[in-house]
Structure 1
Amino acid sequence: MTRTTRAALLLAATALTPALLLSTPASAAVQTATASATASAPVDQMSDDDVRVAIARILADPASGRAVIREANKALDGTIADQRAFLETGYRLAQAEDDRVAIARILADPASGVAVKREAGKALDGTMDDQRAFLETGYRLAQAEDDRVAIARILADPKSGVAVKREAGKALDGTMDDQRAFLETGYRLAQGEDDRVAALRIIADPKSSAALRAAASAALDGTLEELRYFIAVGQYQVH
């Protein structure tokens, strides 16, 4: 297929309604990719042009992985029989290859928690459908399990301040998204609130030296990170 023809196909594909290819099984993804042109017709009932447009849409989808893009390009460079074979079976096999790579990366990520690694390992030991299901829903559910454990540990930590415990409790009573948001941003903001209270207490303490009060005031005027450093380390370095 020439570059001009391929470019024309990509232009036509991106002009159609975007397809949620990554979140559906292979057969449904192909049907979704060609819905506007074929009314979800099976591949063997699609015209040659519709087949090429369906593949072009897969190529244009930012969610398509390396293996999918590689095999889609091979199909477009081949015969119409190659292209139909890609839509019928090759797409799902290439997607499965990308899924395994994605899960392997999750397993190798030091930020992945115990539940995520447990479920990722199960998925890799399972079928293609198990791996797809893990990436679509299982990963987030396992991450939520790890999030709840992390928040429970924060609540149990005697060093956690009033604001941190307050916001951690709210997060545990909320949704998975609330819990993720707490760990990503809310925890640090609540910790900053506790740090400000601690710095103000240092300033108000008649036993604090002038140098310590000045350092606490400077920390209050700084960033959350500077304030955290002062509370955790800096205050003990002031003589």
Structure 2
Amino acid sequence: MKFSRIAAAVTTAALAPAVLIASPAFAAGPDAPAAGHQPAPTTPDQPAPDQAEEDRKTILAIIAHPMASEFMKEAGRKAIADGPQAMRKFIEVDQHKIRIDDYRIAILRLLPAAGPGLKEGINKVLSSGDDIEKLRHFYDVTQHELRDDDNKVEISRLIGTGGPAVKEAGKKALRGTPADRAEFLKTGRFLAQASDDLVELARIDESWDGPILSEAISKLMNGSPTPAELRHFLEVTQYELRDQDNRVAIAKIIDGGGPELVKAGRAALAGTAADRAEFLKTGQHEARAKDQAAKDKAAKDKPTPGKDGQDQGNGSGTGAAPTGNTATTAQGHNGAPLATTGAGDNTTLIAGGAGTALIAGAGLLLAARMRRAGAEG
């Protein structure tokens, strides 16, 4: 017991100076102000920033960016909900991977409306790797440069194939800004084309003889057609109406025509629109020529009475017609043979035979009268 107490006393003596030195009152000395009345320190201590709160604000800013995809927003909200470690990982790692994917997807979406130059640029940048700066620069800058180059090419093509109004508006756009060229291709070209289309419709109406197409053109131009309606009429409707007029014209041509003309006309009516146009251009004339050739051949091959030993002499008491060429040819007012109407030359032959029969009948009537007169004498 004696040694234990000594040890406790020694320990207490050893700890006492340390406790006194650590006490504020002892350290300040006897002149120090009482507790609770110390002056404010010259430089107050700054508390350590709340890292979790800063990370939360950073993530909120990231997912509020216009380029942030739904996947980025969803991942950011999840990180906030999962706590400080998840937020730090999102900021340091996840957001960069997601942003690369977002840019690649955004660039891919440019393809459907891209011209040749822009398509080539898209394929090139997407195959160059996952450099976020390259992807960002392409999306923010390069794509617009390539699109304008494609627009210039397209406008030049339209100038080469368009009418006067399209040419003038296209040249003006080429001299302007990229926005001017984009606007021309979006709306300006169609307004200029409508002006050219109205001129073309007037020209067609003046040169076309068919009533169906002409009436439709007048109705369209007297209305308030849109550029799209004018274009559709010129590209589609006018050809349908032309064909209707052609059908009417062919039906009139073959009505009462010769065999070849009727045959060719009916074949055209049963064929395509191109067949009908070709018939009116050349086919009808070729068919008429064939009918005329057949008519001429029939007239040449027609037998002439008196050349085969028939009906010759001064009369044999059989009532034969007088000698000489007794063939009768149907004549028009000018003495020319009458035209046939599709029945070949049978009409001419019938007319000739009928004339010969009438002459022979007159001869028989005269002979009968002479005999009757002799009997009475």
Q: TM-score, normalised by structure 2?
A: 0.48
Find out whether 1:140 has 2:190 as its counterpart. Answer: yes
What do you get for the CA RMSD once the two structures are aligned?
2.4
2:266 to 205, 217, 221: 217
Instruction: State how 1:107-126 maps to structure 2 within 5 Å.
Output: 107-109=159-161, 112-126=162-176
1:37 Cα offset (Å): 5.8
Cα deviations by residue, 1:152-190 (Å, 9 ceiling, x for unpaired): 111122x33101112222333233222211111111111
SS in 1 for 2:113: coil
Indicate whether 1:88 and 2:109 are aligned.
no
State the match for 2:112 in structure 1. Answer: 62
Paired residue secondary structure (1:235):
helix
From the superposition, tell whether residues 92 and 230 of structure 1 become closer, same or farther in structure 2 (CA, over 3 Å): same
Distance, in Å, in 1 between the alignment partners of 2:274 and 2:108 is 48
Provide the C-alpha distance between the structure 2 equivalents of 1:232 and 1:96, rounded to a whole number of angstroms: 47
Alignment of structure 1 residues 168-187 onto 2, 5 Å: 168-172=217-221, 173=223, 174-187=225-238
Match of 2:244 in 1: 193
C-alpha contact 1:114 1:146 (8 A) present in aligned 2: yes
Identify the structure with the greater helix proportion. Answer: 1
Gaps of 5+ in 1: 1-30, 40-45
Aligned AA (1:139): R
Per the TM alignment, residue 62 of structure 1 is displaced from its structure 2 partner at its CA by 2.1
Please list every run of 5 or more consecutive structure 2 residues that lacks an aligned counterpart in the other structure: 1-65, 74-97, 290-377
Per-residue Cα deviation, 1:8-60 (whole angstroms, up to 9, x for no partner): xxxxxxxxxxxxxxxxxxxxxxx7x9775679xxxxxx9343223212222xx
Query: What is aligned with 1:101?
Result: 153
The question of whether the paired residues in 2 share the 8 Å contact of 1:34 and 1:53 is answered with no
Q: Structure 1 pair 85/190, CA: closer, same or farther in 2 (3 Å)?
A: same
Amino acid across the alignment from 1:180: R
Give, in whole Å, the separation in 1 of the partners of 2:68 and 2:172. Answer: 33
1:130-167, Cα deviation, whole Å (9 max, x unpaired): 1111111111211111111111111122x331011122
C-alpha distance in structure 1 between counterparts of 2:101 and 2:218, whole Å: 57
Task: Return the alpha-carbon distance in structure 2 between the equivalents of residues 34 and 221 of structure 1.
Answer: 64
2:254 and 2:262 in contact (8 A); partners too: yes
Identity of aligned residues (%): 34
Query: Size of the alignment, in residue pairs?
Result: 195
- Secondary structure of 2:209's partner? coil
Letter in 2 for 1:192: D
Q: After alignment, is 48-57 or 148-157 more displaced?
A: 48-57
RCO higher in 1 or 2 (8 Å CA, sep ≥ 6)? 1
Larger Rg: 2
1-structure distance, mates of 2:68, 2:188: 28
TM-score, with structure 1 as normaliser: 0.73
Inter-partner Cα distance in structure 2 for 1:84 and 1:144: 40
Supply the distance in 2 between the matched residues of 1:135 and 1:34 (Cα, whole angstroms): 30
